[in-house]
């Protein structure tokens, strides 16, 4: 049975609720699944509070995906098996989520100035239960209103770093994220290294206390995968991988189970929690 260690729910910028995600994972016969929402563990708290964690028939790994501060590159750090009720973690996440709120208002303002008639209410409607308001929600509004054909086109034209409606927000330093994850009992893993766009920087980050590397990822080709596998070996890191499923039809993978990792990688992350 295959596994997936990188997925999002409606508590960040994914479309499926945690219950729907878990049901889809079961239907796809996944053995281990990690829920890794951006800057929040609320989706996992929700499952736990509904009495759905642990769950029969599937092993759910509580996770998170942080965005780290960097002037030019996008650095994402995954945390697996964090204590979802950890106080210091919760406090920091509240600060980050609040900063996302301020930032989304500024983005809407910039877009209005650029002539795109969208409102904060439009974005909040798309964001639904999500606390971590994201560029992805804003992009979906611009597509729904017919300004762009796809979310990717929106990022390309206005929302990517350096583009006219880009607004940065408060993000923790990589070192801070790594210690916070460890403090909360979790395992820090560097996400999608190819998307960082600079392997020199990747190697620097791997020497800051990271314990795993996301080697298997949809946008890594065979050559990238082999290179990151060798890098994981060089720094004696756990090997991770996942689909980065968001449940958005236009975005690969549109279904769970299409991109998976072997259970032998996933089980290393699960065992650590049950020690
Ligand atoms: P944020 O964390 O608010 O800066 O938003 C980043 C999110 O937007 C990512 O987690 C992705 O889900 C999404 N995203 C970023 N770039 C693109 C892109 N080119 N096409 C589609 N979605 C993207
Ligand atoms: Mn996302
Ligand atoms: Mn990411
Ligand atoms: Mn992700």
| Span 164-202, pLDDT tens digits | 999 999 999 999 999 999 999 999 999 999 999 999 999
Atom of ligand 1 nearest to the CA of 251: 21
Does the C-beta of 76 come closer than 6 Å to ligand 1?
A: no
Going from the Cα of 64 to the center of ligand 2, the distance in angstroms, rounded, reads 11
Task: Indicate if the pLDDT at residue 91 is higher than 60.
Answer: yes
| Span 18-31, pLDDT tens digits | 999 999 999 999 99
Does the C-beta of 132 come closer than 6 Å to ligand 1?
A: no
Task: Say how far apart CA 228 and CA 216 lie, in whole Å.
Answer: 9
Atom of ligand 1 nearest to the CA of 132: 3
Task: Indicate if the pLDDT at residue 275 is higher than 50.
Answer: no
CB burial string 254-273: b at 16+ within 10 A, e below: eebbebbbebebbebbbebb
| Predicted local confidence at residue 230, as pLDDT | 98
Going from the Cα of 61 to the center of ligand 4, the distance in angstroms, rounded, reads 15
| Span 226-265, pLDDT tens digits | 999 999 999 999 999 999 999 998 899 999 999 999 999 9
| Predicted local confidence at residue 14, as pLDDT | 97
How would you classify the pairing of strands 59-68 and 187-190?
unpaired
Farthest-apart Cα atoms in the chain, separation = 55
Residues, CB-to-ion distance under 5 Å, ligand 4: 65, 244
Going from the Cα of 96 to the center of ligand 1, the distance in angstroms, rounded, reads 16
Spatial contact of 5 and 80, defined as CB atoms under 8 Å apart: yes
| Predicted local confidence at residue 271, as pLDDT | 63
| Predicted local confidence at residue 1, as pLDDT | 83
Atom of ligand 1 nearest to the CA of 65: 10
Backbone angles phi, psi at 39, to 5 degrees: 55, 25
**Structure tokens that stand for 127 in this block:** 């964001």
Does the C-beta of 136 come closer than 6 Å to ligand 1?
A: yes
CB burial string 6-17: b at 16+ within 10 A, e below: bbbbbbbbbbbb
Does the C-beta of 143 come closer than 6 Å to ligand 1?
A: no
| Predicted local confidence at residue 272, as pLDDT | 46
Going from the Cα of 115 to the center of ligand 4, the distance in angstroms, rounded, reads 30
Does the C-beta of 37 come closer than 6 Å to ligand 1?
A: no
| Span 113-172, pLDDT tens digits | 999 999 999 999 999 989 899 999 999 999 999 999 999 999 999 999 999 999 999 999
Task: Indicate if the pLDDT at residue 274 is higher than 60.
Answer: no
| Predicted local confidence at residue 246, as pLDDT | 98
Does the C-beta of 155 come closer than 6 Å to ligand 1?
A: yes
Does the C-beta of 67 come closer than 6 Å to ligand 1?
A: yes
């Amino acid at each position: 049975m295959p596994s997936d260690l990188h997925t999002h729910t409606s508590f960040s910028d994914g479309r499926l609720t945690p219950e729907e995600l878990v049901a889809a994972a079961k239907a796809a016969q996944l053995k281990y699944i990690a829920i890794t929402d951006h800057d929040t563990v609320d989706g996992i708290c929700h499952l736990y509070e509904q009495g759905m964690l642990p769950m029969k028939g599937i092993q759910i790994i509580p996770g998170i995906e942080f965005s780290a501060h960097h002037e030019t590159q996008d650095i994402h750090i995954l945390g697996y098996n964090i204590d979802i009720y950890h106080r210091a973690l919760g406090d920091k996440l509240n600060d980050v989520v609040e900063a996302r709120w301020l930032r989304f208002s500024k983005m809407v303002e910039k877009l209005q100035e650029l002539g795109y008639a969208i409102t904060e209410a439009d974005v909040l409607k798309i964001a639904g239960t999500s606390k971590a308001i994201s560029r992805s929600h804003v992009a979906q509004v611009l597509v729904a209103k017919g300004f762009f054909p796809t979310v990717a086109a929106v990022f390309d034209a206005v929302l990517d770093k350096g583009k006219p409606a880009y607004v940065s927000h408060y993000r923790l330093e990589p070192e801070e994220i790594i210690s916070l994850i460890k403090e909360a009992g979790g395992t820090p893993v560097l996400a999608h290294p190819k998307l960082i766009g600079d392997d020199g920087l990747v190697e620097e980050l791997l020497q800051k206390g990271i314990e795993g590397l996301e080697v298997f990822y949809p946008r890594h080709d065979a050559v990238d995968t082999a290179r990151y596998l060798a890098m994981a070996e060089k720094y004696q890191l756990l090997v991770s991988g996942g689909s980065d499923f968001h449940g958005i039809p236009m975005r690969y993978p549109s279904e769970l189970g299409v991109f998976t990792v072997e259970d032998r990688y996933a089980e290393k992350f699960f065992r650590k929690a049950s020690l």
